[in-house]
Structure 1
Amino acid sequence: MVKTNKNKLVMQSVQGKIHGPIAPTPYRIGRNGTAYVLPATGGITYNVKVGDSCMNWVGDHVEPGVSIKNENTSENAALNLLACIGNEARVVTGDSKGAKGYVTGKHGGIDHVLIHFDDEDLEKMAVNDKILIKSFGQGLEIEDAKEIKCMNIDPNLFEKLGIKITAEGIIEVPVVTEIPAYLMGSGIGGSTAFSGDYDIMTGDKSANIDYGINSLRFGDIVLLKDCDNTFGRQYLKEAVSIGVVVHSDCIKSGHGPGITVIMSCNTSKIKGIIKKEANISYLMNL
C-alpha cells in the first residue's frame, strides 16, 4: 500500500443545503448557435447516477444525485474547498434526516458539491434540506512522492485506487482513458484546482471517438496529459493530472464532462494504467 500522511489529517464539518435548479434565462445557447430549453445544474437528480454514462443526456452540465450549496458565500467557499470525493455526508434536516451518502464531485462556477444517496433516501428529500459533510483529505501527501500534489479525495478512497510505485519512483494509477491538454476547456486558468472542476471539450466528434470520450461515465478516473493542476490549471508539457468525471456533457462551446482533479505533478512522475473499471462507483460500492 502507498504510504500517506493520512493519520495527520484533520476531519472537519462543512455543511450546505440542497440547492434548487436556477434559470436566469429560459435558454442555453449551444455550440451551434441554437437556443435550447434544458434541465441543467442543481436540485435532486433522481435518474442520473455515478456509474452511468455522462454523455447523451438531454440536459446541460447535469449533476448526478444531490447538489448542495451554502447561502453564506465564505462558508460555501469552505464547503467547496474542504469537501473531498469519498467523504461521508449525512442529512441533518427534513424527512430523510439521518440518511448517509458520499461526495462524488465538486462543480465550479455554480459552486456545488455533489453527493450520492440511495434511491429510497432521495425520495424523502426536498430542496433546502441541510446536509453535513465530514470533510477529510485536503493536505494528503504520498510519503515517497511529495512532489505529487494530492487534492479533493478522501484518504480512504485514495487507498482503494490501486496505485503502485515503481522502482523508478513512478506512480502508476488505473484510469479509463488519457485526455490530451488541447481538449481541456472551461475552467482552464483557474487559480486553484483544490476546488471545482474543469471541462473536457466535446465539440470535435472525431476526438470524442479517438480518446474514448463517448464512453465516459460519471465517476470515471481519467488522466490529463500535459496538464498542470498542482496549484492553478494550466498547460505544461510532461505534467500529468488525474481526475474524476463529475458532471455531464454540455451543449456550450468550450464545455463538456467536468473533471475534478485528485492528483497532479508538474513532471511525468504519474503514469496511467488503462482499466475500464477505474470508476469510483466500483471502489465505493455505490
Structure 2
Amino acid sequence: MLKTNQTKVVIQSVQGSIQHPLSGYPYRISHEGIPYVLPATGGITYNVKLGDPAFGWAGDHIEPGVTMRNSNDKENAALHLLSCIGNEARVISGDAKGAKGFVTGGHGGVEHVLVYFKQADMEMMSVGDKILIKACGQGLELSDHSEVKVMNIDPDLLLKIGITEQGSKIRVPVAATAPAHLMGSGIGAPSAYKGDYDIMTGDKEEVKKYGLDQLKFGDLVLLQDCDNSFGRGFLKGAVSIGVVVHSDCVKMGHGPGITTIMTCKKAGVIDGVNDENANIAKYLNI
C-alpha cells in the first residue's frame, strides 16, 4: 500500500456559491471559422454527468454537474487552489441544504470548481445556493517516491485508485494516454496546482488514433512528455496523470480539460496501466 503523509495534510473549509452561466459576445468561433451559439460554462448542468462521454455535446467547455465560485476574487483563488478532486462538498443554504457531493475538478480561466451531486439534489438547487467544501489534499506526498509531485486530489481518493508499486516505479490505472503535442490551452501556466489544461481536438484523426474520442468525464489520463511540476510544459520522458473535468470544445487549441493529480520529471517512474474503467466515478462508487 502506498505510504503518504496523509495524517499531516490539513483539512480546511472553503466556500462558494453556485455560479450563474455568463455570456458576452454570443458567438464561439470554431477552429474551422464557423460561428456557433452554444451553452458553455457555469450553472447547474442537469443532463451532463460524471461518467458521461466528454464528446458529442451541443456545447462548449461544458462543466458536468454543479459549477461553483466565490464572488470575492481572493477567496475564490483559495477555493480553487485548495479544493481537491474527491473532497466532500455540502450544500449549506436553500432547498437542498444538507445535500452532500464531492469535487470533480477545477476549470482554469473561468476559475470554477466543479462538484458532483445526485440528480434529486440538483433538482432542489438554485443559482446562488452556498456550498462548503472540506478542502484536503494540497501538501499530500508519497513517502517512498519523493520525485513524484501529488496535487489536486483527496488523500482517500488517491488510495482508492489502485496505484501499485514496482520497485522505484508506481503503476497508475489510466483510461487513455495523450501525447504532448495534443496538449493545448493552459500550456505555460505558472502552476498546475489548480485549474486544468486542454487536449486539443482540432485534428480528429489524431485524437481517434489515441482513443481520446472515447474519453468520459472523470477518466484518468496519462500525459506523455508533460511536466506539470512548476507549471505546464513539455519535457521528454516526464509523465503527468490527470482527470477529465470538462467537455470537448469548438474553439481552436481547446478540448476536454485535464486537472493534474500527479507529475514526475524523471522518466520511468510513473507507469500507466490501461484500464477503460479508470474513472473517479468508479472509485467513489457512483
Deviation of the 1:24 alpha carbon? 1.0
Task: In structure 2, give the amino acid aligned to 1:20.
Answer: H
Equivalent residue number for residue 170 of structure 1? 169
Equivalent residue number for residue 122 of structure 2? 122
Equivalent residue number for residue 35 of structure 2? 35
Question: CA offsets, 1:100-129, max 9 Å, x none?
Answer: 000001000000000000011000100000
- The 5 Å alignment of 1:132-151 reads 132-151=132-151
Deviation of the 1:177 alpha carbon? 1.2
Tell me the distance in 2 between the aligned counterparts of 1:36 and 1:163.
42
- The 5 Å alignment of 1:34-183 reads 34-167=34-167, 169-183=168-182
Task: In structure 1, give the amino acid aligned to 2:79.
Answer: L
Tell me the distance in 1 between the aligned counterparts of 2:123 and 2:177.
37
Tell me the distance in 2 between the aligned counterparts of 1:285 and 1:203.
34
Equivalent residue number for residue 14 of structure 1? 14
Equivalent residue number for residue 189 of structure 2? 190
Tell me the distance in 2 between the aligned counterparts of 1:171 and 1:207.
28
Equivalent residue number for residue 236 of structure 1? 235
Tell me the distance in 1 between the aligned counterparts of 2:146 and 2:137.
15
Deviation of the 1:146 alpha carbon? 1.1
SS in 2 for 1:262: strand
SS in 2 for 1:101: strand
Deviation of the 1:271 alpha carbon? 0.6
- The 5 Å alignment of 1:210-221 reads 210-221=209-220
SS in 2 for 1:182: helix
Tell me the distance in 1 between the aligned counterparts of 2:36 and 2:53.
21
SS in 1 for 2:216: coil
Percent of matched pairs sharing the same residue: 61
Deviation of the 1:208 alpha carbon? 1.3
**Number of residues of Structure 1 aligned to a counterpart in Structure 2:** 285
Could you list the runs of 5+ residues in structure 1 that have no partner in the other structure? none
Tell me the distance in 2 between the aligned counterparts of 1:27 and 1:182.
28
Could you list the runs of 5+ residues in structure 2 that have no partner in the other structure? none
Task: In structure 1, give the amino acid aligned to 2:248.
Answer: D
Question: CA offsets, 1:10-42, max 9 Å, x none?
Answer: 000000110010001111111111111000000
Tell me the distance in 2 between the aligned counterparts of 1:133 and 1:101.
9
Q: What is the aligned-residue RMSD (CA, Å)?
A: 0.5
Question: CA offsets, 1:166-216, max 9 Å, x none?
Answer: 12x011100011110000000000000000000000011111111111100
Q: 1:222 aligned to 2:228?
A: no
Q: Which runs of 4+ in 1 moved over 6 A?
A: none
TM-score (norm. length: structure 1) = 0.99
Tell me the distance in 1 between the aligned counterparts of 2:211 and 2:20.
32
Tell me the distance in 1 between the aligned counterparts of 2:235 and 2:20.
38
Tell me the distance in 1 between the aligned counterparts of 2:50 and 2:229.
26
